[in-house]
Amino acid sequence: MGARRGVREYLRQIVFGGNDGIVTTFAVVAGFSGAGAGEVAGIGTAAVIVFGVANLAADAMSMGMGEWLSDRAQRDVWRAGRTRLAAMTRETRVARLTESLRDAGLDADPARDAARAIERSPDLTARLVLSTDGVEQAPEEGALARALVTFAAFVAFGLIPLLPFFVSGAGGADLRASALATLAALLLLGLLRWRATGIPLWRSLLETVGLGALCAAAAWGAGAALA
């Protein structure tokens, strides 16, 4: 149960990083295949590995840093919103709360009575008012851990489409072998999402594999168009 809770806690980072890693590296394979690079001076396998690993390293760092910066930005927006609320008069805060509660479905009088009671709690006031404005509270702790999980998921899943090229030797691998490895990676990611969320298995697999396949087809098409 502890491991499952850990997966749930970082599910967004695992799915986001893992899916991006799979698509990024398979896009290199599909792009080279679409362009016919495997037939150019026999450098297809080496080129796929070099460009694939380079993309994997750069994009993994970018994803991890992006997750960390996104966390900081979300916290900054939240704190600025709380500061604005604290600077308002009590009646203005009550009015904002009343509006938020009415948007949630309460009638005017119950919403106003509830707002006067809730206004005594700055934390609850901020959560209700700012969430109505589309600002969600970011956890105060764990930004570095979420960034590292995003980075690790990107690398771990992103290596899978390249594995056939690492083990194929001089003979080289082809698009079909990498496509099968990519399919396995997407299925694994879909299963992980299903186990963590409890959504229907068919939906988790269909969404994960379907979107990944769409991105891979776009990469192959781009390579073929530029060949």
The per-residue pLDDT for 149 is 92
The per-residue pLDDT for 133 is 77
Q: Could you read off the pLDDT of 70-80 as tens digits, one per residue? A: 888 888 888 88
The per-residue pLDDT for 154 is 93
pLDDT for 227 beyond 80: no
DSSP letters, 73-116, are HHHHHHHHHHHHHHHS-HHHHHHHHHHHHHHTT--HHHHHHHHH
H helices then E strands: how many in the chain? 10, 0
